[in-house]
């Protein structure tokens, strides 16, 4: 068996597990002993929360990439300045 086949099967197993876990959570949530109104309100709150977090994701990702890029440039510049093998003459 090749390494990519093993990795692919592991990924399939992980996706299957996550899908099963999500389905189990959804069924448990929907069959919990609550009134219909309470369940709808909880679902509305949950979807609003997910939507809010998802809308902030692109901006947060951009900011994190910029910070990481800046930190990488600074680390490289510092390492370059401290290189003992560099000839300064």
Q: Give alpha helix (H) positions in the chain.
A: 3-30, 36-81
- The CA-CA-CA angle for residues 43, 49, 54, to 5°, reads 125
For residue range 60-72, list pLDDT tens digits in order: 999 999 999 999 9
Which segments in the chain show pLDDT lower than 70? Answer: 1-8, 83-89
Which pLDDT does position 59 carry in this prediction?
A: 92
Q: Provide the pLDDT for residue 13.
A: 86
CB-hemisphere CA count at 13 Å for 55?
A: 6
């Amino acid at each position: 068996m090749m390494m990519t086949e093993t990795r692919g099967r592991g990924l399939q197993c992980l996706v299957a597990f996550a899908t099963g876990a999500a389905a189990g959570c959804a069924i448990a949530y929907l069959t919990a002993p609550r009134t219909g109104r309470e369940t709808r309100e909880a679902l509305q709150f949950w979807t609003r929360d997910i939507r809010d977090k998802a809308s902030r994701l692109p901006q947060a990702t951009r900011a994190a990439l910029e910070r990481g890029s800046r930190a990488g440039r600074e680390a490289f510049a510092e390492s370059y300045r401290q290189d003992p093998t560099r000839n300064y003459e």
